[in-house]
């Protein structure tokens, strides 16, 4: 089987696992389980807590002790078991613990999926910047397919979404073991203590541009979980004012426009990175978040449906121009011996500290603007838009990075 097609399947399943519950779980927790906004935010923040620890840890293991594809497979098998257990509980405490442990094993797989893809493509002589985005786009297709399956089968408010995710996770876990071997890089010289502990990637902080890059990666990471946690719940709250609209009946399918947009913007990344450089691409992402949240604040599933659709189209730029381009930028800046650890560090800053802040603080914001069970969504979304606007104003002032178009070649090591 063609190696690109095999990587395509791996990326499809990787994000199918996530898409089966990431967008709809908030609605399930609020509507079915009766959790508060703060509790929902805390559950989503488990991804941040886990990303502080396990992506870097699993990156170290993949760099030094075990084949990356095997680490990927073991993580998905463990995650599938934990999701099955989570589907059977209804109390917040137990549900939180199970989702926390699921986050511990799932969050590393995003960076590991990238690492396995990069290594295999590189070994086969492909150009990563050119050949990876068309493969990665199928991850987004997998995410969309999972969202549609869960919504159209009526699982958005039921634990069945966790069964769907668990089945895909188990399949991917087994499939990962069939991928070409991605062994640790053998080092010619004896490793230092810091190297043995996997702290190599932190040498990236010796560069001022990388310090600022990771800081804003963290702050932008906080924005990633906001609409994941509350987007579908926001649409469900229109059930009284616009009860028969498509957006209320199928909020997850409507939300999938965001991921469909991703598939288009991913394909533009090589052009934008070469033409404008990482600084301008990230700046585009930041202001896309401003419009994403602002349009949510003034849109609705009725006459304002076009604003919600536009917001979801903009999401493709907001997410991809930061998440995928950032990963490729880290891959370019990191030495070959620390690439898995470097990707783990990127995950730590974005889906670790950033996601924890985003999940926790967004839950507080939602509860703050909730009176007698009624949420003031306009103020909630404008608060998030203001946050992104501050980032957009300050970023170009502090991130000093001059893009050299003549040197913007595909990543090579």
Q: Cβ of 130: how many Cβ atoms within 10 Å?
A: 13
Rg of the chain over Cα atoms, rounded to whole angstroms, equals 20
Q: Are 97 and 106 in contact (CB under 8 A)?
A: no
In order of their start, the domains of the chain are 3-182+198-403 (1.20.1250.20)
User: What distance in Å separates the CA atoms of residue 350 and residue 356, rounded to the nearest whole number?
Assistant: 9
Q: Yes or no: say if 58 and 79 are a contact pair by the CB < 8 Å rule.
A: no
Between 83 and 186, name the one with better pLDDT.
Answer: 83
**What are residue 374's phi and psi, to 5 degrees?**
-100, 125
User: How many other β-carbons are positioned within 10 Å of the β-carbon of residue 271?
Assistant: 9
Angle formed by the axes of helices 3-19 and 128-152, nearest 10°: 40
Confidence of residue 333 (pLDDT cuts 50, 70, 90): confident
Please name every residue paired with 375 in a beta bridge, in sequence order, or none if there are none.
370
Query: C-alpha 6: how far from its chain's center?
Result: 22
258-294 confidence digits (pLDDT tens): 878 877 887 788 888 888 887 888 889 999 999 999 9
User: What average pLDDT is seen over the chain?
Assistant: 84
H/E stretch holding 273 reads helix 251-298
Q: What is the mean pLDDT of residues 151-169?
A: 93
* Residue 220 clears pLDDT 70, i.e. is over it: yes
CA 395 to chain centre: 21
d(CA 170, CA 33): 26
Q: Provide DSSP, 71-85.
A: HHHHHHHHHHHHHHH
Best CA proximity match to 395, nearest among 281, 271, 262: 281
What pLDDT sits at residue 332?
Answer: 76
**Cβ neighbours around 246 below 10 Å, total:** 12
What is the distance between the alpha carbons of residues 180 and 4, in angstroms, rounded to a whole number?
A: 12
> CA 199, CA 188: separation in Å to the nearest integer?
18
Q: pTM score, two decimals?
A: 0.73
Q: What single-letter DSSP state applies at residue 158?
A: S
What is the C-alpha separation between 191 and 204, in angstroms, rounded? 18
For residue 78, give the DSSP letter: H
Is residue 62 a contact partner of residue 340, using CB atoms and an 8 Å limit? yes
- Cβ atoms of 366 and 229 within 8 Å: the answer is no
Q: Count Cβ atoms below 10 Å from residue 356 Cβ, excluding itself.
A: 25
Tokens 């995710």 identify what position? 165
CA dihedral in degrees (272, 275, 277, 281; nearest 10)? -30
Residue 9 token pair? 């399947």
What pLDDT does residue 406 have?
53
Q: How confident is the model at residue 404 (pLDDT cuts 50, 70, 90)?
A: low
369, pLDDT greater than 50: yes
């Amino acid at each position: 089987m063609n190696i690109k097609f095999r990587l395509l399947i791996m990326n499809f399943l990787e994000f199918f696992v996530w898409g089966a519950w990431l967008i709809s779980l908030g609605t399930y927790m609020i509507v079915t389980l009766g959790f508060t906004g703060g509790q929902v935010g805390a559950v989503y923040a488990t991804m941040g807590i886990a990303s502080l620890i396990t992506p870097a840890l699993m990156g170290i293991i993949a760099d030094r002790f075990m084949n990356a594809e095997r680490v990927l497979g073991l993580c998905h098998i463990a995650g599938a078991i934990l999701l099955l257990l989570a589907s059977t509980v209804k109390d917040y405490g137990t549900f939180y613990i199970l989702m926390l442990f699921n986050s511990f094993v799932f969050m590393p797989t995003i960076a590991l999926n990238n690492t396995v893809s990069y290594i295999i493509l590189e070994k086969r002589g492909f150009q990563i910047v050119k050949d990876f985005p068309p493969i990665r786009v199928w991850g987004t297709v997998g995410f969309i397919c999972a969202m549609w399956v869960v919504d159209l089968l009526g699982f958005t408010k039921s634990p069945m979404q966790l069964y769907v995710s668990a089945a895909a996770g188990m399949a991917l876990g087994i499939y990962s073991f069939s991928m070409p071997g991605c062994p640790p890089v053998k080092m010619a010289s004896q490793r230092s203590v810091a190297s043995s502990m996997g702290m190599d990637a932190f040498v990236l902080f010796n560069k001022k541009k990388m310090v600022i890059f990771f800081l804003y990666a963290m702050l932008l990471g906080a924005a990633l979980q906001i609409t994941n946690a509350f987007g579908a719940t926001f649409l469900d709250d229109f059930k009284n004012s616009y009860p028969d609209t498509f957006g209320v009946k199928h909020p997850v399918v409507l939300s999938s426009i965001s991921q469909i947009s991703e598939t288009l913007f991913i394909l533009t990344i090589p052009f934008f990175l070469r033409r404008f450089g990482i600084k301008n691409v990230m700046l585009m992402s930041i202001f896309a978040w401003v419009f994403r949240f602002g349009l949510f604040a003034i849109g609705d599933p009725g006459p304002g449906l076009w604003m919600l659709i536009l917001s979801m189209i903009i999401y493709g730029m907001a997410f991809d121009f930061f998440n995928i381009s950032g990963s490729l930028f880290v891959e370019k800046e990191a030495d070959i011996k620390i690439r898995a650890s470097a990707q783990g560090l990127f995950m730590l800053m974005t889906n670790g500290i950033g996601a924890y802040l985003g999940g926790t603080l967004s839950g507080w914001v939602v509860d703050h603007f909730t009176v007698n069970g009624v949420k003031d969504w306009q103020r909630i979304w404008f608060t998030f838009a203001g946050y992104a606007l501050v980032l957009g104003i300050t970023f170009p002032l502090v991130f000093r990075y001059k893009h050299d178009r003549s040197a913007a070649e595909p990543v090579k090591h």
